[in-house]
Amino acid sequence: MIFTQQTLNCDGQLLDLGTPLIMGVINVTPDSFFSASRKEHLADILRTAGEMLAAGADILDIGGMSSRPGAAIIPPAQEIQRVVPAIAAIKNRFPDAIVSVDTVHAEVARQAAAAGAGIVNDISAGRIDAEMYDAVAELGLPYVLMHMRGTPGNMQTRLDYENVVRDILDFFIQEVQRLREKGVKDVIIDPGFGFGKSIAQNYQLLKGLDLLQILEVPVLVGVSRKSMIYKLLGNTPEAALNGTSVVHLLALQHGARLLRVHDVAPAREVVTIWQMMEQTTVT
> Any idea which residues carry the catalytic annotation?
226, 260
Residue 174 host element (H or E): helix 164-182
Q: Alpha-carbon distance 109 to 2, whole Å? A: 31
Residue type, 105: H
Main-chain dihedrals φ then ψ at residue 118, nearest 5 degrees:
-115, 0
Determine whether 44 is exposed, middle or buried from the number of CB atoms within 10 Å of its CB (0-12, 13-18, 19+).
middle
Question: What Å distances lie between residue 183 and 137, 155, 176, CA to CA?
Answer: 6, 29, 11
Q: Alpha-carbon distance 5 to 218, whole Å? A: 7
Q: Alpha-carbon distance 161 to 274, whole Å? A: 32
Query: 223 near 195, Cβ under 8 Å?
Result: no
Query: 151 near 73, Cβ under 8 Å?
Result: yes
Q: Over the range 160-194, which residues count as b (16 or more CB within 10 Å of their CB) and which as e? A: ebeebbeebbebbeebbeebeeeebebbbbbbbbb
